[in-house]
Amino acid sequence: MKYIVRSLWIISVLCIYTVPAHAELLAVDQYLSVKLGYSGIIADPVKIKGTLISPQEGYKKTGYISTPNLALSVGTYYATEYVAVRGETEYAVRFSAGTKVSSIPTSNGASSLTLTNTVQTILLNLFLDFNTRTFFVPYIGAGIGASFVDVKYSIDNSSAKKFYIDFSWQVNIGAAFYIVPSLAIDIQTRYSNFGEPRLGSGNPTRMIYTAQGVDVFIGIRYTL
């Protein structure tokens, strides 16, 4: 995982310093962006340890949580003849809207698992926009920052909750459709990693899982 994040960071730095050096800088502008959409929060793998789970530890089970989302960002872009490099600061929240109950084999039969996550992130994002010389501008991007996750879970009669802060990163692909030169409709899909919450403190159950997300956003980008 650390090698993926390191590679994304190196690519981002190279984009910032090499693109303007090899093309004439045409414009530097600031923008504001508001996006709404929907997220699928993925808990995978779920590792459950304790007296309820026997004999194995590290049993893998996937839980999906569907939730609406909201993202607000402010950024700057450096436009050249062929591409534009954009950097932005983004706040996003994935509201808790539902859970999936899974059946988990235990020594006493099947147990039910319920997961609920509310995820907030603050990220520094970098994008590379490709100039098609039309109103359609595709882009790719990546970002790093912090995740703030409010977790609740229950297994049968055992329940726990925790608020945790962890390192977060994301990669994305999208496209902007310019209505006028200063206003664009922005459509984006992304994969996000929110870290690993650790819940419980021994009996009857302890749970560790990797929190991930697949987001779809649609919004407005306004150039100041």
pLDDT, tens only, 6-39:
554 444 444 444 444 334 567 789 999 999 999 8
Q: Which domain holds residue 7?
A: 2-223
DSSP 8-state code for residue 61: -
Q: Residue 110: its pLDDT value, please? A: 58
Q: What is the CATH number of the domain that holds 161?
A: 2.40.160.20
CB-count exposure of residue 24 (10 Å: 0-12, 13-18, 19+): exposed
Which residues lie below 8 Å from residue 92, measured CB to CB, with a gap of 6+? 69, 70, 71, 72, 120, 121, 123, 215
The two counts, helices (H) then strands (E), for the chain are: 1, 10
Residue 64 · residue 98 · CB < 8 Å: no
What mean pLDDT is predicted for residues 204-224? 83
Confidence category of residue 203, pLDDT binned at 50, 70, 90: very low
Instruction: Write down the mean pLDDT value for the chain.
Output: 78
Name residue 83's beta-bridge partners.
Answer: 130
Number of structural domains, the chain?
1
pLDDT, tens digit, 9 for 90 and up, residues 94-111? 987 556 555 665 555 556
CA dihedral 148, 150, 156, 158 (to 10 degrees): 90
Residue 172 · residue 213 · CB < 8 Å: no
Q: Residue 163: its pLDDT value, please? A: 87
